Amino acid sequence: MNGMSRRAIILMGLLAGALCTLLVYVLIAGTQRSVQQKSRQVPVVVAYDQIPARTEVKEGMVAIETRAIGTLPPGVATRLDEVVGKVARVDIPRGPIVQAQLAAKDPGVFGLAIQVPKFMRAVTVAIDPIIGVAGFLQPGDHVDVVATFMEGKAAVTKTVLQDVELLAKGKQIVEESPQPQSGIQRISGEQAGQPQEAPNATLAVSPGDAEKLILAESMGKLRLTLRPIDDTDQVALRGVSSVALVGAIPQPAKQVGAAGGSRPAPVVREVVYRPEPMSSFAQPHTQFSLSPAQVQPVQPLPQRTVEVYRGTDKEVVPVTQ
């Protein structure tokens, strides 16, 4: 019995030693695999230099390099198309780029400035409520800007800018100024003094064209005309005036004088007759318009006189009525 116990103890010791050896082997093998896995080289996208926030990533700013996977943060970008064309949310330091540091070019995230092309300016102008294409303009369309303003007594319409990119369109609420009191009643579906929606458009223009656009807006009304896709042609236009469109305004006729010379025709003025009220309870004055032919000349009243004799002298004295 004692012999069997010693053999059992020896056998159990051998099994325990074998089990420990196996566990040590598995632990060492796992550690080696982990080290090998972490040291495995993988391609990643790295920044050559620091990329400031709100900057669009270009191809020249980044490159593909191989780095040990164990040294990389989670979510690292591994392809250029995951980075190029996007915008940095925060300052990206030199080295591997994490996808969470980037976002698409969305004005809702970065504002409209992210969509303004380089060397251009974004200008927002008020436009006519009827914008020319029934409201089908969309951001990204290219339009021409047409302005209508007064030049002297004539209205002039001219295309001031061509092939301009529309960045955004919208409306702003403006307070309509109250109309002055007058005898003319305004007939409209909108109440005076109520807030109204004023449409506007934001255009991408060069600094020089920005000056033209702002000046044209201050002089009159603007309207946008939609261009076809891929149409970038510049058309030579001179504009049109109301005189050229309707024709010359007729001039007043001239009368020929006795000496054969010409003189301006007499000016016919409208005579307004305002009768006096009959009593204190009479209605307010009513204006009647009479033509010159209906106006009769006023005949002078006969003057009354009295003859006064002083001795042999005679004196005629007028009598005041």
The mean pLDDT of 147-175, rounded to a whole number, is: 83
Question: Could you give the CA distance from residue 147 to residue 159 in angstroms, rounded to a whole number?
Answer: 6
- Pair of tokens at residue 30: 């796992």
Tell me the residue range of the domain where 6 lies: 1-38
Residue 313 pLDDT level (bands cut at 50, 70, 90) = confident
150 lies in some domain: yes
Q: Are 66 and 96 in contact (CB under 8 A)?
A: no
- pLDDT for residue 212: 92
Residues 286-303: tens digit of each pLDDT: 555 556 666 666 666 677
* Number of domains the chain is built from: 3
Amino acid 184: pLDDT: 37
My answer on whether 226 and 148 are in the same domain is: yes
In this structure, the answer to whether residues 151 and 231 fall within a common structural domain is: yes
Task: Say yes or no: 12 and 126 in one domain.
Answer: no
With cut-offs at 50, 70 and 90, classify the pLDDT of residue 177: very low
pLDDT at 180: 43
CATH classification of the domain holding 77: 3.90.1210.10
Of residues 176 and 236, more confidence is placed in 236
Same-domain pairing of 65 and 78:
yes
Q: Do 125 and 230 sit in the same domain of this protein?
A: yes
Are 76 and 95 contained in the same domain?
Answer: yes
Asked if residue 133 belongs to a domain, the reply is: yes
Of residues 254 and 98, the one with the higher pLDDT is 98
Q: What is the mean pLDDT of the chain?
A: 75
* Pair 146, 210 in one domain: yes
pLDDT tens digits, residue range 49-99? 999 988 889 988 999 988 887 778 888 998 999 999 888 988 999 989 998
CA distances to 37, 73, 83 from 70, in Å:
7, 8, 22
Note whether 102 and 155 are same-domain residues. Answer: no
CA distances from 220 to 12, 146, 317, 318 (A): 104, 10, 71, 68
Same domain, 240 and 227: yes
Residue 295 inside a domain? The answer is: no
Q: Report the predicted TM-score, pTM, of the whole model to 2 decimal places.
A: 0.49
Residue 48: pLDDT above 60?
yes
The answer as to whether 180 is a domain residue is no
pLDDT at 200 over 90: no
Q: For residue range 103-117, list pLDDT tens digits in order.
A: 887 776 777 777 788
Q: Is residue 121 part of a domain?
A: yes
